[in-house]
Amino acid sequence: MAGLQRARVRRQATFRWVVVAVVGTFFALPLLGMLEFTTRAPGGGRTAAVWRTVADLGGLRTTYPELWAGLKASGALVVLTVLIMLVLLVPTMTWVRLRVPGLRRTIEFICLLPLTIPAIVLVVGLAPVYAWVTYLLGGSSAWLCFAYVVLVLPYCYRALDAGLSAIDVRTLGEAARSLGAGWGTVMVRVILPNVRTAVLSASFLAVALVLGEFTIASLLHRDNLQVGINQLGQRDAQVAVAVSFAALALAFVLLLVLSFAGGRRTRTLTPLATPPTQEPA
């Protein structure tokens, strides 16, 4: 037996592993670099001292106040951004499908628009808007959530759109209405439970994007995790690298959970299938 097809399968396997190994090495080196750097001891050799410092949250708070401020701000931003995003998008998108389908293209256009506006450009335009926000609401970093909602709009829109397209919103809504449900009930009891996965995907994406955001916060002089890490980098590089590694690991876990959980039931829901245009960090 010549095994022509088997030979092809073997060739493909070899090619596959060579490519994966080479690219994998390129992907792994900078991550290893971070780990290696954070375990360097002052006189040479290895130490876990940096990681002990990072694990001690209470100590972190007093020793590195800039980092603590950033953490607190990012925590608030994550919650606010996800909330506003969901409250803004889910009812609007459902409503448009139910009552004003003619507006669907318009809403989609608006939601995808931020893809063509680089973050640095958005900052330029947002500066005067934030002068008003500061005047009306105060200068808290938490108000960055408005800008972040705009930033995550395209990704969350696509995730939610995939979820809503998978169910027949109109029929579900009409069925519930015919049974006597009000619009609020339709939204909360009928639509939401059916797009759980999509809501989860959209939220995870928003969390990952907010945790990595640097451009807007730094240029508008607000605090967030990345700004804190950046400031810390000038004072204690090792701790800064350790914290950013930890943040990255968290984002990694979040998106891994998302892609594995989402992969089984709703492949098309994976929002990652639709790409980011801007470097979100």
Partner 1 sequence: MPLTSRVRGGALLGVAPFLAFTTIFLAVPTLVVVVGAFVDTGGRPTLANVAGLRQGYILDALLSTLELSLTTAVIGAVVGALLAYAVVTAAPDGMLRRSVSAVCGVLAQFGGVTLAFAFLATVGSQGFVTLYLFDHTGLAVPGDLLYGLRGLGLVYVYFQIPLMVIVFLPALDGVRVQWREATESLGGSTWQYWRHVAGPLLMPASLGSTLLLFANAFAAYATAAALVSQGSPILPLVVRATFTSEVVLGQANLGKAIALAMVVVVAVVMTGYAWLQRRTSRWVG
Partner 2 sequence: MTPQRQGVAVRLEGLSRHYGAVRALDGLDLELAPGEMVALLGPSGCGKTTALRLLAGLEDADAGRDVVDGRDLTDVPVSKRDMGMVFQAYSLFPHMTARQNVAFGLRLRGRSSAEQRSRAGEMLELVGLSSQADRYAHQMSGGQQQRVALARALAIEPQVLLLDEPLSALDAKVRVQLRDEIRRIQLDVGATTLLVTHDQEEALAVADRVGVMRGGRLEQIAAPGEIYTSPATAFVAEFVGLTNRMDGVAADGVAQVMRARIPLLPGSVASGPVSVLVRPESVEVHTQRDGEAEVVAASFLGSLGRVRVRTADGAVLLAQVPTGGAGVLQVGDRVSLALRPVPALAVSRD
Return the residues of window 155-194 that contact partner 1 according to CB under 8 A.
none
Return the range that interacts with partner 1 (CB under 8 A); candidates 54-62, 75-83, 85-93, 169-177: 85-93
49 binds partner 1 (CB under 8 A): no
Return the residues of window 209-268 that contact partner 1 according to CB under 8 A.
209, 212-215, 218-219, 226, 229-230, 233, 237, 240-241, 244-245, 247-248, 251-252, 255-256, 258-260, 263
**180 Rama class: left (phi>0) / alpha (psi -120 to 50) / beta:** left
Q: Which of 117, 126, 109, 200 is nearest to 156 (CA)?
A: 200
Count residues near partner 1 (CB under 8 A): 87
Nearer to partner 1, 58 or 144 (CB): 144
6 binds partner 2 (CB under 8 A): yes
CA distances from 121 to 76, 107, 109, 116, 166 (A): 25, 22, 19, 10, 35
CB atoms within 10 A of CB 239: 22
Nearest-angstrom CA–CA distance, 277 and 158: 13
- One-letter identity of residue 100: V
Among 4, 58, 136, 138, binds partner 2 (CB under 8 A): 4
Count residues near partner 2 (CB under 8 A): 6
10 binds partner 2 (CB under 8 A): no
Among 3, 125, 180, 193, binds partner 2 (CB under 8 A): 3
Return the range that interacts with partner 2 (CB under 8 A); candidates 2-10, 77-85, 212-220, 245-253: 2-10
Q: 135 has which bridge partners? A: none
